[in-house]
Structure 1
Amino acid sequence: MQLQQLASFVAVAETAHFTHAAERMRVAQPSLSKQIKALETELGAPLFSRARGNVTLTPAGEALLPLARRMLADADTARREVAELAGLRRGRVRLGATPSLCAGLLAEALARFHADYPGIDLLVEESGSRDLVKDLARGRLDLALIILPLQSNDPSLVTQEILRENLVVASPTEARGRRPYVRIEELRGRPMVMFRRGYDLREATLNACRQAGFEPRFAVEGGEMDAVLRFVEAGLGVAVVPSMVLDGRPGLAGTPLAPPGLRRAIALARRKDVEPTRAAHAFRATLLSYLSEAAEEGSLPQGVELARPPADA
C-alpha cells in the first residue's frame, strides 16, 4: 500500500469521477486507474462501484476513506516536521478557533508568532468547537482553541484550559439602563438574536433559559458572530455573547448576568496520538506567553481571565 495509491483513492472518492480525480492528481487517467486497481488487489476488495457510469464507494471504500485521509494527513505532518528541523525556517501551523476568539485575542498572538517565525505558514480554520474537534480527529488541524466542556469526552484529545470568560447580554448602547446586571429570567419573552446550530453559545443560552423555566423567543436565528452582533446593533433583539467580542464595538453594551452568571472555559486542544510538530509547539509557547503577559499588564479584554493554575500539557 503506497501513499500515492491512497491519495488517488481519496481523489476519486471526493470527486466521484476518475477523470476529474486524475486532473486533480495531475496524472493520466489510465495511470490513476492502475493505482486504484493495485490498491484493491492489495486490500482484497473492490473500493468503488462503477454501475451505469456512476462512481460510488463500496462498503470497503467507505471504511477506508477516513483512515486514508488520516494517513495522508499524518504523512504530510511528518514531511513538514523533518523540514522544520532546519531551525523552524519552514513549516506550517494549522490552527482552529471559535469565531469569538478569531475576532478577539487570536489576532495579536498570531501577529507575534509571525514576527518571530516569518517562514511558518499559518492556516486558520474558524468554526464551532464540535466541528473543530472533528477536524482535529481527522488530522486536518494541529491545534484548536475550543470551548469546554466538550459535548462528548473524546479520549483521543488532550486539552489544556487556558482562559475563562464571562458571557454577557449584548444590547444596543443607547438601550442599556444603569442596572449592574440582568437576571436570566428577565429574558423571558424578549426578542433574542440566536446563533446558528452547532454554536457553543447557542447551547449555553438555550440551557440557561430552560433551567430558568422558559423557551427563548427568537427574533432571528442562524447567524455567525459578526452577523449576530450587527443584528443586535440594529435593534432586532438581545444576544448572549462572550464579553471579549464587544471590544471595539461602541454601538453595543454588555450587561453581566446575575450571579453566578454564565462563564465558559477556553482550552487548547490537540490529538493525543500524534506528537505536535515543532512549529505547533512554538505557537503554543507564543500563545501562552502572550496571554500571560496580557494578564500581568491587565490588558486582557473585560471579563476574561487567565485559567489558574496553568496545566502542563
Structure 2
Amino acid sequence: MEIRQLQHFVSVAEEQHFTRAAARLMVSQSGLSASIRALERELQAPLFVRTTRTVTLTEAGRALLVEAERILAQERAAREAVAAVQGVLRGTLTLGAEQCIAGVNVAGLLAAFRRRHPQVEIRLRQWGSAALAEQVAAGRLDMAFAYGTEADPEHLRSVALTSEPMTVLSHPDHALAASGAAPAPCDLGEEVFVDFHPDWGPRRVTDAAFAMLGVRRTVALEVNDVHSLLDLVGEGLGVAVVPRHFESKRPSLYATPLKETGGVVYETAALLPVPEATSPAAKALMALLEEETHGAHIDAGD
C-alpha cells in the first residue's frame, strides 16, 4: 500500500466521482481507476459501490477512510517537520473554530501567525464542537478551538483555555427582567428557548445542566450562528442560555446568571492530534497563543 494510492482513494471518496477526483489530482481517469483497483486487490475488499453517476463507500471503504486520512495527515506533518528543522515553516495550517469561542481572539491570532510565518497557507473552517473534534481526530484539521470535549486519548488531546458560567439572555420586557432574580433550570422549564444545534458547545453545556436536574425544555428555535440567536431573543421569541461573554455582544438584552448548574460550566480548549501527529504549523500557533496569553488577556472573538 502506497501513500499515492491512499491519496487517490481519499480524493475519490471526497469527490464521490472518478472523473472529478482525477481532475483534482491531475491524473488520468484510467490511471486513477487502476490505482483504486490495485488497492482493492491488495486489501481483498471492494472500497466503492460504483454507478454511472456516482460512487459511494462500502463498509470496508468507510473503515479505510478513517485510517487513510490519519496516515496522510501524519505524512504531511512529517514532511513539514523536516522543513521546520531546516529553518523554514511552510505548508498549510488548517484550523477549525466554533463561532465566538472564549479564550482566544481567532482573527487576531491568525493575523499575528501570518506575519510571523508568511509561507504557511491558512485555512479556517467553522463547525460545532462535536464535528470539530471528529475532524481533528480524523486528521482533516490540524487543530481546533472548541468546547472542551472529552478527548479520545489515541487520536485527540485537549489543552484547556478558559472556563466561564452560563448566562440567561431575554428581552428586557421579559418576566426575568422584572423579577431581577437569577433563575435556576427548574425555573425555566416552561420557557421557549432559542439555542444552537446539538453539537455546538453552548448547547451541550445547557443540555447537560438541565438534564442533571431532570428539567425538560423546549428548543423551538434552533440556529447555527450567534447573531441569529441574539436577533431572535431580541424580538422576544424566546430566551437563551449562553456563555457569559455573549452578554457584551447585545447589551440591549437582559442578562442574568444561571444558578444551580451543578458545577457545569462552559469550558473552551484547543483540540489537537496526539503529539507525534501534530503539525509544525499547529505547534507554532500554540506557541504564539501562549506568548499572547502571557502578555495580555485574549478576549473572545466577535
**TM-score category, normalised to shorter length:** 0.7 to 0.9
Question: Does the Cα contact within 8 Å between 1:88 and 1:120 map onto a contact in 2?
Answer: no
Query: Counterparts of 1:273 and 1:70 in 2: how far apart (Å)?
Result: 13
Question: CA offset at residue 193 of structure 1?
Answer: 0.8
Alignment of 1:120-199 (within 5 A): 120-150=120-150, 154-173=153-172, 176-177=177-178, 179=180, 181-199=182-200
- In structure 1, the residue matched to 2:292 is 290
Question: Does the Cα contact within 8 Å between 2:103 and 2:268 map onto a contact in 1?
Answer: no
Percentage identity across aligned positions? 35
Alignment of 1:40-119 (within 5 A): 40-50=40-50, 55-101=55-101, 105-119=105-119
- In structure 2, the residue matched to 1:202 is 203
- With 141-150 and 233-242 compared, the bigger mean Cα shift is at 141-150
Residue 278 of structure 2 is aligned to residue 276 of structure 1: yes
Return 5+ residue gaps in structure 1 as ranges. 302-313
Read off the aligned partner of 1:277 and give its amino acid letter.
Answer: S
Question: Does the Cα contact within 8 Å between 1:168 and 1:257 map onto a contact in 2?
Answer: yes
Q: Deviations over 1:197-247 (max 9, x none)?
A: 222322322332344443223342244323212211222111011122333
Question: Does the Cα contact within 8 Å between 2:92 and 2:121 map onto a contact in 1?
Answer: yes
Question: Does the Cα contact within 8 Å between 2:96 and 2:126 map onto a contact in 1?
Answer: yes
Question: CA offset at residue 185 of structure 1?
Answer: 2.7
Structure 1 residues 18 and 110, CA gap change in structure 2 (3 angstroms):
closer
Partner SS state of residue 75, structure 2: helix
Query: Counterparts of 1:114 and 1:52 in 2: how far apart (Å)?
Result: 44
TM-score normalised by length of structure 1: 0.80
TM-score normalised by length of structure 2: 0.83
Structure 1 residues 148 and 48, CA gap change in structure 2 (3 angstroms):
closer
Query: Counterparts of 1:278 and 1:12 in 2: how far apart (Å)?
Result: 28
Q: What is the root-mean-square deviation of aligned Cα atoms in Å?
A: 3.0
Count of residues in Structure 1 that have an aligned counterpart in Structure 2: 297
Question: Does the Cα contact within 8 Å between 1:173 and 1:250 map onto a contact in 2?
Answer: no
Question: Does the Cα contact within 8 Å between 2:104 and 2:299 map onto a contact in 1?
Answer: no
Question: CA offset at residue 271 of structure 1?
Answer: 1.6
Structure 1 residues 47 and 157, CA gap change in structure 2 (3 angstroms):
closer
Question: Does the Cα contact within 8 Å between 1:196 and 1:224 map onto a contact in 2?
Answer: no
Question: CA offset at residue 284 of structure 1?
Answer: 0.6
Read off the aligned partner of 2:116 and give its amino acid letter.
Answer: D
Query: Counterparts of 2:22 and 2:155 in 1: how far apart (Å)?
Result: 34
Read off the aligned partner of 1:32 and give its amino acid letter.
Answer: L
